[in-house]
Structure formats: C-alpha cells, structure tokens
Structure 1
Amino acid sequence: MAQTRPLGAQISHMLKDRGVDVIFGIPGVHNQEMYRGIEEAGITHVLARHEQGAGFMADGYARATGKPGVAYVITGPGLTNIMTPMGQAYSDSVPMLVISSCLDETAATKGQLHQMKDQRGAAETVCDWSEEARTAEAAYALIDRALIEFETGRPRPKCLQVSIGLLEAAAPEPFGEVETEPYRTDDDAAAETLMACLSDAKAPIFIFGGGVQTDLAPAVAEAAGAASFTTYAARGLMAGYPLNFGASLARPSSADVLAQADVVIAVGTELAEVDLWRRDLGHTGTLIRVDIDPIVLSDSQRADVCIQARADDVLTSLAEMLEHHQSATRWRSDEVAAQRKRWRAEIDAERPDIVPVCDALRDCLPKGTMIYSDMTQFAYTAKEVWDMDEPGHWHHPTGFGTLGYATPAAIGGAVARKGLPTMAIIGDYGFHYTMQELGVAVELGLPLPIILWDNGKLKEIEESMVRAQIAPNAVVARNPDFCKLAEAFGVHAAAPRTLQDMQETVRAAFDADGPTLIYLTPDISSLT
C-alpha cells in the first residue's frame, strides 16, 4: 500500500531505493525535513563541519565507488559553501547530487533568513544543471534525471532545490525506478575507423585519459605497436607497459616525443590546459579523438578524426579487431625508459628534496592504497614520478584546482572503502581550509594517514612570482603547531625525522583506531 509522507522524507526513501547508502551534509532549520526520512530509510549520514567539507566528502566517496556522492545542504549559505566542491566535481567529471532547500518565494518578500537573489542560477555556474522542483513529482523526476545522466553521459554534478513548504507537505510515494542503458554508438564502426588509421602506422601513440576504465588499454596499445601517455587522471592504467611514457604530458619535451608519432589517438581525455600546460599538443601526424563529450571533440586541438563514443566500448571493439593484427613499431622500450629517466631528473632538479620522500612513501604503502591529494608541491611532484600499480587510486583536484580538497575527500573515500587503505596528502596552507573535518574522521574512527607537507609558505606561488619578476609577498603565513592542533581534535600525530621513521609511522597509521596526522618538512629527505 502506498504511503504518504512529507516530501523531505520521501526523497530519502527514494534515494535509498535507487542505491544511495550514504549522505553527507549538515542539517538546518530550512532543510530539517530532508532529515526526517534518513534513518527510517536506512541511509548512513555523515555530519560534516562545513558544507565545503560535505561536498568534498561526497566527491571522494563518488571517486572511490563510481556511485554518485549525495549531499544535503541548507538554503543560501549552505548552497554557496558547497559550490566550490561542485565546481571541482564538474571539472573532474565526478557524479555528485546536491539537494538543498530553498525559500518558497523571494520576489515580493525581502529580508528572509538565508535569502539569495537567485539561488538556482548561482548553483548553475558550477554544475551541469541546477533546477528547482515545484511539485513532488518534479522532485522525483529530477532525481531520476540526475541518476540516469550519471549512468548514460559524462558524469558531472547536478543541483536540485526544493522549497521549504514543499519539503514539509505530504507527498505520494515516488514512482518506480527507470531502467536505463548507457549511451551507445556503433562501436564497431568507430573501431574500424581507428583500425584504418592504425593499419599503416609505424609510430602510433595512444593518450589515455580518465574516461578510460577498461583494463584492455595495455593490450590494445601492445597489439597496435603503440607507445602511450596517460593523463594524471589515468595514472596506473598502463602499469608495467614498457612503451608507456607515463603521466608526463606536462613536460615541455613531451611535445617532441608526440611529434615523432604518425598517428596520435587521444581517448577519454580533454587534453586540457591542466594536462598539457601548453597551448598545442605538439603532434605532427594524424590526431584522432574519442570522447563521449562533443565539446571536447570540437576544441582548439582540431583533431583530424572525431569519434563521439564511450571510450571503453570503442577500446573493447578495437581489442577484438587487433587480435590478428601484425604491427611493426619504431618505438623501443629502452628509449622510452631513457626518456622517462631524463624527465625524472628534471623534476628532481625543479623541486629538490621531494622525489626521495615520494619514493620512500610509495614503498611503504599497503597494496591497493587509495590516495587523495591537494594543491601542494609534494603532490605536483608525485603525480609525475610516482607510478601507480592500478588506475583510479589517486585523486587530485586537477581542474578547478581548489585548496583543502584532500582531507575531506579522503574521509569520503575511507567511508566508502571500509577495511581498505586510504590516505590523504595535503600542504600546510591547504590544510587550513578544511582542517575542521578532522573531527569527522575522529568520530568515525577512520584509520586514515594524513600526510601534511609543510614547506612554510605558498612555495609554488612564490616561485611563480620570482619567475615573473615580482617581488614575492603574501606567500608566508604563520602556522600553528600542527601536531598539537591535531591532538586537540583527538587525532594521533607524529613528526618523523627520517624517511625510515616516516615509513614506520605510516604503516602504523593504517592500523590505528583513528586518523593520524604525519607532519613532514623538506628537511626529512636529508636527515638520517
């Protein structure tokens, strides 16, 4: 028998029926009706300390599971506080559903609590779409629309707003779940197009992006006799492949390597500024783009062949066609290894003292550790020199580039990965943005190592100013005693003095009864 409930409660029940198990958020008087049905529906709620933290937790949860991260926030400031995480999720193609309350009417009444001029329009600037539901049926339809679009298109955040009066009003049960199929193209035809380009290629290169999930990528590249690059988002995809140049597209001389290719096939990647850090890819041969997003296919790189399709579907078809393909490649594994060694030396020279710490940290981690990093020089270095064993296990705020991402995102990832190792890497300045979320990790008893890299300043900005011949200013802030601060939250804290001590501390942190802040400075690489 159908059960009538307040709409706020019905929404939680609907989400549970659609597979949502965890919601991140903060309750307030405006959205309290959304909390009426959470426990009754059997959903776990994680109470953040700030809506920005809730959004990053939802992002981290989504990246760890592939399922949408869901957040509940209040009217006005709750929505504006979560807009930064929404912008980050939009840049990095993360499925996130933000549901907020909104005022019943704003045109004729002013001075209301949490009032904004245009809440819907504000949210739309940082997400795929932002809509206000004016009936219960519209709310249900928009939730299903978001979930269907996460499955069938490029996953990006959506924002649904429901007025306070509507949340409080009695509503019928939601309609049944809609069966969906992913976006499909003629994958065989797309693969045949690639085969035609590869048939005479002597030096093909694949560039694999975060849109590639299939483990067939190394086999496809090998059968085609192709070298490969990955974007930062696809690190680990080509683990062990001897012709893989790594996540080195940002190295200026990668353009010289790409210029040697007669065919470049970019699959599931925007080839964005934050991938290349230059205007042009550098290729001289044929460029083929495969992407689900038509906007990517029409960008300034001006591909010779554009294929709108799901990357994995096309690669699956291509793998079958390449089974009997005979390739003769000009690429040599020793030359690839030598080039990667040169790039590693460049990175070590650019940011002294960081590479040895990256190596030591990598070597002490349990297999399958998932890492969430922040905008810090440690992470910038690690993304280029740290080879991942598997894809989808290092998450970074690549596009929007916000500070403060790593700690709450890692909390979301740890919630999703109970019993599996999860770690955060964050800089001293970024840590200030979201350090209050340490309380959440303590409450949940998460065995979460948090690597805090303290170089005492906004060093990346300082170096940029120097290169631009600007006298560096406003790049140094007084830091607290981070270990004492962590302990005040109930967090374990340690400041290892040697790389060996660091490794022992990190190993112990994965077995602790709560989070551990591990405080590192650049001096650690030279101490014995």
Structure 2
Amino acid sequence: MSTDMSVGEALVHLLEAHGVEIVFGIPGVHTAELYRGLAASKIRHVTPRHEQGAGFMADGYARVTGRPGVCFVITGPGLTNTITAMAQARADSVPMLVVSGVNARSTLGRGQGYLHELPDQSGLIRSFAKASFTLTDASELAGTLARSLALAISGRPGPVHLEIPTDVMVARLPKAEMVAVEPAQPQTDAGALKAATALIAGARAPVILAGGGAIRADLSLRIFAERIDAPVVLTVNGRGLLADHALRVPASPSLAPVRDLLAASDLVIAVGTEFGPTDYDMYADGGFPTLRKLVRLDISEGQIGAGPEADVALVGDSSAVLSRLLDMLPETGGRNGAARADAARRAAMATLEPRVAGEVALLQRLYGATPHARFVGDSTQLVYAGNLYCDAPRPGHWFNAATGYGALGYVPPGAIGAALADPAVPVVAIVGDGGLQFSLGEIGVAAEERLDVVFLVWNNHGYREIETFMLDAGIAPVGVKPPPPDMALIAKAYGLGFRRAEDEAQLVEAVAVCARKGGAHLVEYAV
C-alpha cells in the first residue's frame, strides 16, 4: 500500500484490495475526490445514466456473484436517487455497498442551505439499510470500509451505506493497510438440530420450501431432498434449484395445487424463505394453509421470528445446516416424493388461466432456444406468468423485481449488472414497454460496455396489469396508457441491434438469433 495519499485515493486502493472489480457511479463535485485514484486502479468504472441505475446494476451484479455490488453517488440527490434500488436490495437480501459524499463535517445538521444538503442524510438511509456509517476521522477508513463490506454479506445480506464528508475525502493518510473483518455468521444450536432431525425422521410426507436464501445451496439441498424423499417447492428467487430433478416443484405456493401439497404434508421444512405474501399470497386471498409442523432454516433469527411460528428454528447458512442435518439423518426414502412432486407440477400447470399457461409455455420455449441464458425480469405480464410457474434450467437464472419491494425500472440496469458479473452468459432481459421507460437510457450502457444482453420488450402499449386490476375492481382505468416510443428508433439511437416479432415463433427466433450473435439487442414483441 502506498503512503501519503488522500482518503479518496486510499478508498479506491482498499476496495481493490478487498477484491472489488467494478464500481457503478456518476461522478459529481461531491465525489470527484473519490475518483482521484480510480483511473490508475484495476477497478472498472461503469457509468449509468441515473443513480437509480447504479443501484440496480450493483443489485444485478451481486445476485450473480454473491459479492456486494459497489456504487459511488453524490451527496443528497445522488443518494436519494439510489434509495429505490437499495430498498429493492434490502427486500431481496442482496448485498450492496453505497459510498456517498456528504457535506463538510462543520455544516452537518445546521440547515444552512449548502448544495445537496439533507437534514440528516445518514438517518434517512438508516431507516431501511442494514447500516449507515459516517467517516468523520480519516484514520478510521480501513476499519470502517472493512466493517461495511462484511456487514453487507453477514447474516441476511443487504445494502450498507458509507458516507464521507467532502473535507474528509481530501485529508491525507500516512498509511492505510487493509483490515480484514470476517462476516458474522450465526452458530446453529445443537439442540435445535437434534429436534429437527427427530421431526424429519418421523415424518411420513415431508415437503421442502426453498427460497432465495437457498440459491447457493443447490447441491446440499438436492442431496437432502433425496435423502428424505421430499418434493421441493421453489419460490420465485429459488427457481432453478434442483433443475430437471424429479422432486422439484417450480410453481408458486400461491397456487391451489401447491397449497394442497403443503396442507397434506405432516412436515414442512422451509429453507431460506421469508414467507412473504408476494410469494405465498400473490392473489391476496388469505388461502395459504396452516402447516401442521414447520421447521424453519434461515440465516436470520429475526426473519424466522417475523414469519409463521416454527416448531423448530435452525439459524445458520443453508448449505452448512443442511449438511449437518444430512450427517445426523438415517437413510430414509419411501415417501413417494417424486410422485407427489409430479402430481403437484401437473395440477399447478392445469390450474393456470389459458393466457398465463401460454406465457409459461413461451418462457420454456425461450429457455430452450437460449439454453445458457440468464433471464432477468421486471414487473410485466410475461414475468408475472413465470413467477407463477417457471422451470429455470439452473439456480440464479431466473430473478426479477416483481416480488418484494416490486420496483419498476429494474430490468435494463439489473440485466447490465448481471452481464458484467458473468460475461460468458448472455442475459435475456424481459421488460414491458411501460417499465422500460422508467430507465430507458440505461440500455445505452449495454451497448457502450459491449455486453451480451437481449432486451425483450413486451409491448402491450401501457401498464396492462394495472389496467386489468382497475377493471376487475370496477374502476375506470386512468393513466394506464402511456404511448410507447418507436422501439426501432430507440434501438438505433442507443446503438443496439433491433428486431420486431409479430408472433411467438418470430419472438423465439429473434431472441435466439440475437443471443447467439452477441452484443446488445432490443427485440420488440407486439402483444
């Protein structure tokens, strides 16, 4: 580590030492000092067209890598522009570090009208982020940064904020060595493991629920499910687990046949799922069944306490705890798990409305035509259909912002972050014409960075899902028909390839051709 450098320069070098590869941000006068050492570093800087895009790019990057996505944003409006993305990351347990400026220490909290001033910037962020730290002493940079990065991935992952006053950014450091802080992980109670083992061994018809907290535990989950011969119901963020396995049920627990499977079970083992209504009560009908016995495994003790009461609570990392359970469980089987899973899959598909069933079939054709692609989605019809039923080919290859916080504008930047995280895998980004216009300018970043992203624009000329909801509720639709731009001209303006599809066969062909060709493309499907 070099000696005698500014805090801004030291921050960049320390981020590099922590293994940060990419920073997403838009420089401004309140963060220019953070950029002083960036050009000479190995860190790649990606410039979104809006700070919300920076946050969503960091989110997409983190979902693929499991490491915190890092943003640099300016004081005040730059940070508040990023709040929506941070809130989505908090809802979906996505690690993120947002580094912002803040005005000089002597001005904080005085309300004197300085540029970009907020009454209490850190207090605002603390209301929803895991933590917000203010670096008031330059000598504490290394330790504060290390704690911030560790906290983002400790326990239930989420966004962390670090603000640096403008006068601290320029302070000189005689030396700044990287500090290593290990992420805090809970120790699983031995008594709870023993109690869970007894319940599992005595169950005749167990079922597993697997959410986003299990997405990096595929092998352990697969072996565990086989050992106890249990169907595995996958929430939206768990899709792709147990791909092609006879025990998988890639259908929403909001569907009646999946609820019937759970109601008939004498033991449900929930792994890494918060039991949120956007997964478990999508239609807000209150019909999720009361479970007879429940074992909950989650990295967050607080999250276990927030959901349905568990007979046994296992706090810890999904993969580690499942492995310990496997060591304790006898060989079982004989519980007809594959047949129960098959029946649930068939019944779930049969219960879908014809339009939705057709869209699910279209998704499977798209997966078949682009077998290695990762699908990233926004709140639009095709994504809602996939959230009800989507048989993704591998973990982490189906995720979207239509659950949890449910922020529109996620897809263009989120898909870009995913493509940057794993350049060898093309991304199919599914977005409606309405949602696209929330962050339209970000598609230019995909072309600028030469990324393999196919933006599939589901063009139904407005906010069709909201229009349908209003009609069903007896409300005359207002404000749901913003006219879409000319997609061909948009693609040309931003330097993307363009194709228009008039039917599903053309759509599948267009997406497949663009994905094979590589680069950034926009494919419009006129619904």
Query: Is the structural similarity TM-score above 0.5?
Result: yes
Aligned to 1:526: none
Counterpart check, 1:142 vs 2:147: no
CA distance in 1, matches of 2:55, 2:500: 30
CA distance in 2, matches of 1:430, 1:173: 47
Aligned to 1:316: 323
The correspondence of residues 201-212 of structure 1 with structure 2, limited to 5 A, is 201-212=203-214
Find the partner of 2:128 among 106, 126, 132. Answer: 126
CA distance in 2, matches of 1:290, 1:109: 47
Counterpart check, 1:403 vs 2:408: yes
Aligned to 2:392: 388
Quickly say closer, same or farther: Cα 1:335–1:311, change in 2 above 3 A: closer
Q: What do residues 53-77 of structure 1 show as CA deviations (whole Å, max 9, x unaligned)?
A: 1111111111111111000000110
The correspondence of residues 316-335 of structure 1 with structure 2, limited to 5 A, is 316-322=323-329, 324-329=330-335, 331=336, 333-335=338-340
CA distance in 2, matches of 1:227, 1:444: 42
Structure 1: which amino acid aligns with 2:41? A
Helix, strand or coil for the counterpart of 2:80?
A: helix
Aligned to 1:111: 113
The correspondence of residues 362-377 of structure 1 with structure 2, limited to 5 A, is 362-367=367-372, 369-377=373-381
CA distance in 2, matches of 1:312, 1:190: 16
Q: What do residues 133-187 of structure 1 show as CA deviations (whole Å, max 9, x unaligned)?
A: 1011333222111222234322110001001111012123323331526514247
CA distance in 2, matches of 1:505, 1:338: 34
CA distance in 2, matches of 1:449, 1:160: 34
Range with bigger deviation, 433-442 or 164-173: 164-173
Task: Quote how far apart the aligned CAs of 1:387 are.
Answer: 0.5
Aligned to 1:469: 474
Aligned to 1:159: 161
CA distance in 2, matches of 1:320, 1:258: 26
Q: What do residues 412-450 of structure 1 show as CA deviations (whole Å, max 9, x unaligned)?
A: 111121232222111111100111011211111112111
Q: What do residues 432-488 of structure 1 show as CA deviations (whole Å, max 9, x unaligned)?
A: 011101121111111211111011221211222223222222211111111211211
The correspondence of residues 411-430 of structure 1 with structure 2, limited to 5 A, is 411-430=416-435
Range with bigger deviation, 51-60 or 151-160: 151-160
Q: What do residues 231-268 of structure 1 show as CA deviations (whole Å, max 9, x unaligned)?
A: 11111112223233223212144322211111111111
Calculate percent identity across the aligned residue pairs. 35
Counterpart check, 1:358 vs 2:363: yes
Find the partner of 2:199 among 175, 197, 200. Answer: 197
Aligned to 2:350: 345
Counterpart check, 1:254 vs 2:258: yes
Helix, strand or coil for the counterpart of 1:400?
A: coil
Give the TM-score normalised by structure 1. 0.93
Quickly say closer, same or farther: Cα 1:189–1:521, change in 2 above 3 A: farther
CA distance in 1, matches of 2:9, 2:183: 29
CA distance in 2, matches of 1:108, 1:156: 31
Quickly say closer, same or farther: Cα 1:237–1:380, change in 2 above 3 A: same
Structure 2: which amino acid aligns with 1:202? R
Q: Are 1:355 and 1:382, in contact at CA under 8 Å, matched by a contact in 2?
A: yes
Aligned to 1:175: 177
Q: Are 1:348 and 1:355, in contact at CA under 8 Å, matched by a contact in 2?
A: no
Aligned to 2:245: 241
Q: What do residues 340-359 of structure 1 show as CA deviations (whole Å, max 9, x unaligned)?
A: 22322332435375234223
Q: What do residues 182-206 of structure 1 show as CA deviations (whole Å, max 9, x unaligned)?
A: 5142476544322100121101111
Structure 2: which amino acid aligns with 1:296? Q
CA-atom RMSD in angstroms:
2.0
- Count of paired positions: 519
Quickly say closer, same or farther: Cα 1:3–1:405, change in 2 above 3 A: same
Counterpart check, 1:28 vs 2:35: no
Aligned to 1:292: 299
Q: Are 1:128 and 1:156, in contact at CA under 8 Å, matched by a contact in 2?
A: yes
Helix, strand or coil for the counterpart of 2:202?
A: coil
Quickly say closer, same or farther: Cα 1:158–1:280, change in 2 above 3 A: farther
Quickly say closer, same or farther: Cα 1:18–1:284, change in 2 above 3 A: closer
Q: What do residues 283-302 of structure 1 show as CA deviations (whole Å, max 9, x unaligned)?
A: 34111111121222112411
CA distance in 2, matches of 1:189, 1:231: 28
Aligned to 1:98: 98
CA distance in 2, matches of 1:168, 1:179: 25
Range with bigger deviation, 425-434 or 339-348: 339-348
CA distance in 2, matches of 1:357, 1:521: 14
Q: Are 1:190 and 1:314, in contact at CA under 8 Å, matched by a contact in 2?
A: no
Task: Quote how far apart the aligned CAs of 1:410 are.
Answer: 0.8
Moved over 6 A (4+): none
Q: What do residues 279-333 of structure 1 show as CA deviations (whole Å, max 9, x unaligned)?
A: 57413411111112122211241122222222211101122333x423331x453
The correspondence of residues 73-88 of structure 1 with structure 2, limited to 5 A, is 73-88=73-88
Structure 2: which amino acid aligns with 1:325? E
Helix, strand or coil for the counterpart of 1:229?
A: strand
Aligned to 1:488: 493
Structure 2: which amino acid aligns with 1:85? A
Find the partner of 1:227 among 220, 227, 231. Answer: 231
Helix, strand or coil for the counterpart of 1:40?
A: coil
Q: Are 2:24 and 2:58, in contact at CA under 8 Å, matched by a contact in 1?
A: yes
CA distance in 2, matches of 1:510, 1:327: 42
Helix, strand or coil for the counterpart of 2:213?
A: coil
CA distance in 1, matches of 2:501, 2:383: 19
Task: Quote how far apart the aligned CAs of 1:411 are.
Answer: 0.7
Quickly say closer, same or farther: Cα 1:190–1:389, change in 2 above 3 A: farther
Structure 2: which amino acid aligns with 1:119? Q
Task: Quote how far apart the aligned CAs of 1:219 are.
Answer: 1.8
Helix, strand or coil for the counterpart of 1:433?
A: coil
CA distance in 1, matches of 2:120, 2:517: 46
Helix, strand or coil for the counterpart of 2:332?
A: coil
Structure 1: which amino acid aligns with 2:248? N
Helix, strand or coil for the counterpart of 2:365?
A: helix
Q: Are 2:501 and 2:526, in contact at CA under 8 Å, matched by a contact in 1?
A: no
CA distance in 2, matches of 1:491, 1:150: 35
Quickly say closer, same or farther: Cα 1:485–1:176, change in 2 above 3 A: closer
Helix, strand or coil for the counterpart of 1:39?
A: coil
Q: Are 2:231 and 2:340, in contact at CA under 8 Å, matched by a contact in 1?
A: no
Q: What do residues 43-99 of structure 1 show as CA deviations (whole Å, max 9, x unaligned)?
A: 110011110111111111111111110000001100000001000110111110000
Quickly say closer, same or farther: Cα 1:521–1:351, change in 2 above 3 A: farther
Structure 1: which amino acid aligns with 2:510? T
CA distance in 1, matches of 2:27, 2:517: 30
Aligned to 1:304: 311
Helix, strand or coil for the counterpart of 1:206?
A: strand
Q: Are 1:12 and 1:37, in contact at CA under 8 Å, matched by a contact in 2?
A: yes
Counterpart check, 1:379 vs 2:397: no
CA distance in 2, matches of 1:227, 1:283: 18
CA distance in 2, matches of 1:350, 1:27: 46
CA distance in 2, matches of 1:245, 1:507: 27
Structure 2: which amino acid aligns with 1:285? R
Q: Are 2:229 and 2:337, in contact at CA under 8 Å, matched by a contact in 1?
A: no
Quickly say closer, same or farther: Cα 1:305–1:439, change in 2 above 3 A: same
